[in-house]
Amino acid sequence: MYDWVQTLRRAKACLSDRTTGKKASEIDIKDIVPKISSGISIKKRKLNKKTFPNCFIGAAAVDWMMLNLNMSSRSECVAVGKKLLDEGFIQSVTSEPFADTFSLYQFLKTQ
């Protein structure tokens, strides 16, 4: 019985110490730009018979953020992507807002 109680206490401590993940408001955009630009696949992509150099897919950026920034949800990652777009670090190839889709984006500046 003593072991059972100790195991429950340890489990409770582990659950209470667990972090829930970051929110978009906690991310400093300038700090992640160099990391994300080297962490995702950036290459020449075709869209509507046009070729665009140095592009990445929105869903790939969201996947990277979930893995490397410990984000709390995919929607929080989209909010970070919108910040990148609004602050001029990326541009949409198709003039769409940032989305967790196969939309194409390009980095504009790395500072």
Q: Which domains does the chain have, with CATH numbers?
A: 20-107 (1.10.10.10)
pLDDT digits (tens, 9 = 90+) for 85-99: 999 999 999 888 999
Residue 68 exposure: Cα atoms within 13 Å on the Cβ side: 16
pLDDT in the model for residue 90: 92
Spell out, as residue ranges, where the chain has pLDDT lower than 50: 16-19, 110-111
**Cβ atoms of residues 79 and 91 within 8 Å:** no
Q: What pTM value is reported for the model?
A: 0.74
What span, in angstroms and rounded, lies between the C-alpha atoms of 80 and 25?
8
Q: Please tell me the predicted confidence (pLDDT) of residue 15.
A: 53
Exposure string over 23-58, b if 16+ CB within 10 A, otherwise e:
ebeebeeeebbeebbebbebeebeeeeeeeeebbbb
